[in-house]
Amino acid sequence: MNQTHHHPSGSGGSTRLAVRGLLPSHSLLSLLIGCCLLLGLGSDAATAAIGRDPNGVNVNSQGATSVFISFFGLQNQVPVEATWCGELIPAAPDIGMRCDPGTIFGRLPIRFDQSTLNDQATVFTDIMSIPPSVARRAYQAAVRGETSSFFYVRRFVSTTGGPDEYVFVTCRMAGGGARVPLALTDVEVRFDDDSTVKRVDRDSRVPPFEAEIVYNGTGRLRGRWEVVLPGEEPPSTRDLLTEASLPPEERPTQRRYSVLRRFDVFLPPTGRTVLPGPDPDSVPTTVDGLYRILLRIEASDDKEGDSNLGNIGGNGVIHSGAVAGFPMPVLRYAVGATTDLPMQEGLFLVSPPHGATLRPGPIDFAWSQAPGITLYRLEIRSESGADLHQALLQQGIGTYRAPSWIRERASGTAITWRVVTLGGDGEEVGATEWRDLEVP
């Protein structure tokens, strides 16, 4: 038979422990095992070294949630998978509590994994991005009469042959309002005709644009609109994350560009807002080339999402208001006739144009963003059809700077390139046409 024991957790709540196979004929053994559980699982609890904060959070029961979590005190350990589940069981002979396999709601998708291990490999910054599918399964379990909380469990593997360690965070189901951490769960940036790529004439006016933001919680949304000028190094995936999605030491290293306008607005607990873009007259169109408009979101104070390092042996509080588990999308507009942009939605190549002769300097590739796509694979081949290089990029990027050695290998010949779209399971969804380039 199954028995469920409750004991106080580090967050002042309770942790559900599923203990299996306690037969009546072994009542003394059952009693001893139960006592060990109530005392914190004996030596396993005593040897646990990894702390975390927060150790319990409110999450949206009807949709996605993102939360900043700090794990402190790693000792020759690296993080591996992350799992959500309804019940915990002892991880012996490993350390801590792991998910009961029969109650797993889901695992953290790779595309939402924005976690970072610091240079000393002692502090692990995790962005817990709960997909709507996990929230739905947890809610359905609560409707069936199970507890209205569930668990997020991170497994850490020893690099020196020691036991694995499991560390859990309690997720308490709530609405998406004021008691849930301020987090962006979906962002769309578009021009006034819903397109994401435009072609404009030199010295003309760029159409108005805006950002539609879906979020949990409430608080201040601070940030700025920036523009990447032709010839500037495009932003990386980390540059496009919100500031609150990065560990404190990495936040000042995000690349900055020309500021079009700053904003500081209050988000009520309604879950959706539209952020207008800057005055179109302030957006530059004086030089031919490809421009990128960036939505940069800064970290704000949010007590529901703060990570207090003092609770896990560190110092200070990390503010993580406006955290997000994905990079912000990018708007693009091309000035002049340097790029051959078809005027329709969907997947298409932006630059370099077909048949162009590459100029000296870095080779930057750009393409549109198609709805429902998880990853993009950029493929570069030689004139003979041999593979030169491939790169995988997440949704929302749409640009890639090729390694310098490609120019050296293809000097005096031609190369061809295309972009292949990939679905959630890595399957090929579609592809663009091949586009030829001359390499002097």
Q: Tens digits of per-residue pLDDT, 110-129?
A: 666 778 888 777 788 899 99
Most confident of 174-178, 210-214, 360-364, 382-386: 210-214
Whole-number Å distance between alpha carbons of 166 and 88: 10
Predicted pLDDT of residue 197: 78
Predicted pLDDT of residue 359: 78
Instruction: Name the nearest CA neighbour of 376 among 391, 386, 354, 365.
Output: 391
Q: Tens digits of per-residue pLDDT, 323-340?
A: 998 889 888 888 875 444
**Domain 2-174, CATH:** 2.60.40.10
202-to-206, 278, 280, 336, 354 alpha-carbon distances in Å: 10, 19, 14, 6, 21
Section 391-407 average pLDDT: 87
Contact by Cβ (8 Å): 292, 235: yes
Residue 297 predicted with pLDDT over 50: yes
Confidence of residue 410 (pLDDT cuts 50, 70, 90): confident
Q: Where are the domains of the chain?
A: 2-174, 183-334, 340-438
Predicted pLDDT of residue 151: 98
Q: Tens digits of per-residue pLDDT, 63-79?
A: 889 999 989 889 889 89
Ranking 13-17, 305-309, 389-393 by mean pLDDT, the lowest is 13-17
Does 2-174 match 340-438 in CATH topology?
yes
Percent of the chain residues past pLDDT 70, beyond the cut: 81
216-to-220, 305, 329, 388 alpha-carbon distances in Å: 12, 11, 19, 44
Whole-number Å distance between alpha carbons of 322 and 328: 12
First and final CA of the chain: distance in angstroms?
75
Q: Is 302 helix (H, G, I), strand (E, B) or coil?
A: coil
Pseudo-torsion of CA 88, 89, 92, 94, nearest 10°? -20
The topology under which CATH files domain 340-438 is Immunoglobulin-like (2.60.40)
Predicted pLDDT of residue 211: 97
Residue 16 predicted with pLDDT over 90: no
Give the CATH architecture of domain 183-334.
Sandwich (2.60)
- The DSSP bridge pattern shows strands 330-335 and 197-200 to be parallel
Section 14-34 average pLDDT: 40
Residue 191 predicted with pLDDT over 90: yes
Section 362-368 average pLDDT: 87
Phi and psi for 408 in degrees, rounded to 5?
A: -65, -40
Q: Is 329 helix (H, G, I), strand (E, B) or coil?
A: coil
Whole-number Å distance between alpha carbons of 171 and 78: 23
Residue 377 predicted with pLDDT over 60: yes
Q: Tens digits of per-residue pLDDT, 262-277?
A: 999 999 999 999 999 9
Most confident of 5-9, 297-301, 373-377: 297-301
Whole-number Å distance between alpha carbons of 34 and 32: 5
Question: 381-407 burial string, b = 16+ CB within 10 Å, else e?
Answer: bbeeeeebbeeebbbbbbbbebeeebb
Residue 41 predicted with pLDDT over 80: no
Q: Is 243 helix (H, G, I), strand (E, B) or coil?
A: helix
Whole-number Å distance between alpha carbons of 379 and 371: 20
Confidence of residue 314 (pLDDT cuts 50, 70, 90): low
For residue 153, give both structure tokens: 């469990």
Most confident of 26-30, 282-286, 300-304: 282-286
